[in-house]
Structure 1
Amino acid sequence: MRDRLHRRSTTRRNFIGAVGAVGFAALAGCLDRGSSTEGDPSAGPPTVERSLPEEYTTEELNDAILSGGPGQDGIPSIDDPQFTSSDDPPANLAPGDPVFGVELNGEAKAYPQYNLVWHEVANDVVGGESVAVTYCPLTGTTQGFYRGESEFGVSGRLINSNLVMFDRGTETWWPQILAQGIRGPLEGTSLEEFQVIWTTWERWRKQYPDTVVLTEDTGHLRNYGDDPYGGYNPRSGYYDNENTLFRPLATDDRFYPKAVVVGARNADGAMAVPKSTLRERGVVDGTMSDVPYVTVYDETLDTGHVYHNPDKKTVEYNDGDLTVDGAESAPDELPLERELGFDAMWFAWYGYYPSTVVHE
């Protein structure tokens, strides 16, 4: 059953009060590159020429904007992140806790979920690149964006339960999943993204022993280690029930609303692979607009990688090992064109991309 919806059912304020995790006041305190903004923060972040599925008009998206409770910057971004070595991680960080891993130009960093749940945006420099690592707890999405000389902040608004960011140079509003400007001087343009991996601290540290990890020295007083929405280790609260705080833009009941899918979108359309299926099978083939794609499972990091496979090369998975036309290959280094994909809750992905093609 599929249905398009455009109105919220509750608020983050009501939810946090109901679960009693913490007081809302504590939370509220909390491609080729296109145009360049190097040296000019007022110009906003760099944008890129790209073609993404557009299932709603800008007017429809603006009509769907809701207040999440706190105002602009009421949830404060981390603008001066501090890190420690993998040998001396924060005391609250357990091996099985989720982290958002980034590797750029040979530098690896980990951002604990229990930290970013209070901030949602970390403005940082990784591998010499000025970037923003972003996380929306209500949609289970973590994405990375190049920011140039600008900074991103939390607008306090939501669309489809998803974080709406703003850049402090132009105050353009950017829904995280869409990565496109919907209000402000850069309306209609797209941000340049980079890969962020949702994994666990234990897995990331094993794969990148020289990684550093974000500390709790953020300049803000928060109860780090206590998630206002529930928990992932073990899963509880908001993350462990089928209820959403706000009605999605569109609904589809093929999967549990918060089932995790690996989503990708480009000029060919939008696709989703249930992560449970990917774990089970190792390789999932499919098409978008009759163009072949393949998604492979990375057992080391418990993540998926999406590839464009126009020549229909044979990709096989056997006991954690991958081969392409019989030749062994690392899951993140297949001899195919890589597509950016990321984990998302099904209801959120489908809400933005109701024409999405499911590969199973």
Structure 2
Amino acid sequence: MAIRSILSITLIWFGSFVLADPALWQREWPQTDFSKTSVSDWSEILSGGPPRDGIPALNDPDFIPAGKERDIGPREPVITVEIAGQLARAYPLRYLTWHEIVNDRIGAVPVAVTFCPLCNSGLSFDRRTAAGVLTFGVSGKLRNSDMVMFDRETESWWQQALGQGIVGEMTGVRLKSLPSWMESWQEFADRNPDGLVMAEPAYNRSYGRNPYRGYDSSPRPFLYNGEMPPHGIAPLARVVRVGTRAWPLQRLADLGDVHEAGVVIRWRAGQASALDTGQISKGRDVGSIRVRDGQGRDLPHDVMFAFAYHAFWPDGQWMLGAP
């Protein structure tokens, strides 16, 4: 990442501690009930720079057949969502990097496909709740460097990495996680020749460019002042989180297949990092992960940075293998 970008982010980071005050946020969020919250220390919530909706979430995007897509590089990462009875859908990170949330509907299931670049966290949720179907946007706030989403129906705040309400009426509510996974565009297209891929949004963005160049090689995460991960694991090393357990991606890459704790994790080469070089298609190979249970069913999981896993699951189990 360029030095100018680092300095800009650092200034925002220090200034955010002063502004971590619900009394000030209430002006921007008049419908949010700040008296209801699971956040014990408001200084954990920082401004990421852009204001509310400064990063525009996408609603009901267009799709094209996989066979007609010509712009996405074969190694570029996509988030795949497969729902029974529906054509598989691919959500390219070349778009999610700039929009972070896609509110979509696959058959009868309203879904939110999300990606937080600062945590490398890509998760998909069912948008149905007891309060109705929610529509999510990007708040512009971060907690432990992870995106804080908000819903437009109650204006509650949600932690993306947890899929859980943390401020407002929906505090404590958890969204249902849907099985989805990051893989290369080539992998998706080969397996789903009749599948669908999200079409390029009608925004003036440099789609395909990585604005976080070199980020996943940085020694420390930005906009984060929490504890670093244990066991000598680098804070921006990728881990595969399944429930409260985390497997270092490098261990999986070394082994290829792991059968542990009732899950089967497969690593295969061929997927570019979206947070490495200036062009996503040229990022170094970090491989693709597929997580299934013993019956071969896909399981919800996340491939996130180690610091973020430790921040949200400080008592989680690190799956490091034999000593």
Do the aligned partners of residues 164 and 345 (structure 1) sit closer, same or farther apart at CA in structure 2, a change above 3 Å counting? same
Q: Is the 8 A contact 1:264 1:306 kept in 2?
A: no
Counterpart of 1:212 in structure 2 is 196
How many residues are paired up?
268
Shift, 1:14, TM fit: 4.3
With normalisation by structure 2, the TM-score equals 0.76
Q: If each structure's strand is expressed as a fraction of its own residues, which one has the higher value?
A: 1
Do the aligned partners of residues 194 and 293 (structure 1) sit closer, same or farther apart at CA in structure 2, a change above 3 Å counting? same
Shift, 1:167, TM fit: 0.7
Q: CA separation in 2, counterparts of 1:90 and 1:63?
A: 45
Q: Is the 8 A contact 1:98 1:200 kept in 2?
A: yes
Q: 1:284 aligns with which of 258, 262, 266?
A: 258
Amino acid at match of 2:215: Y
Deviations 1:242-281 (A, max 9, x none): 231122532125212221111022xxxx110112212322
Q: Is the 8 A contact 1:103 1:109 kept in 2?
A: yes
For structure 2, list consecutive stretches of 5 or more residues without a partner in the other structure: 10-36, 270-286
Q: CA separation in 1, counterparts of 2:203 and 2:8?
A: 21
Shift, 1:341, TM fit: 1.5
Q: 1:354 aligns with which of 307, 314, 322?
A: 314
1:242-321 alignment runs, 5 A limit: 242-253=219-230, 254-265=232-243, 270-284=244-258, 286=260, 292-297=261-266, 299=268, 302-305=288-291, 307=293
Amino acid at match of 1:303: I
Q: CA separation in 2, counterparts of 1:214 and 1:115?
A: 9
Q: CA separation in 1, counterparts of 2:91 and 2:170?
A: 28
Shift, 1:205, TM fit: 1.0
Do the aligned partners of residues 183 and 90 (structure 1) sit closer, same or farther apart at CA in structure 2, a change above 3 Å counting? farther
Q: Is the 8 A contact 1:100 1:112 kept in 2?
A: yes
Aligned-partner SS, 1:118: helix
Q: If each structure's helix is expressed as a fraction of its own residues, which one has the higher value?
A: 2
Shift, 1:169, TM fit: 0.5
Do the aligned partners of residues 338 and 224 (structure 1) sit closer, same or farther apart at CA in structure 2, a change above 3 Å counting? closer
Aligned-partner SS, 1:117: helix
Q: 1:74 aligns with which of 31, 51, 54?
A: 54
Aligned-partner SS, 2:58: coil
With normalisation by structure 1, the TM-score equals 0.69
Shift, 1:282, TM fit: 3.6
Counterpart of 1:124 in structure 2 is 104
RMSD: 2.4
Shift, 1:295, TM fit: 3.5
Amino acid at match of 2:224: R
Q: CA separation in 1, counterparts of 2:8 and 2:206?
A: 16
Q: Is the 8 A contact 1:61 1:182 kept in 2?
A: no
Percent identical residues? 34
Counterpart of 1:83 in structure 2 is 63
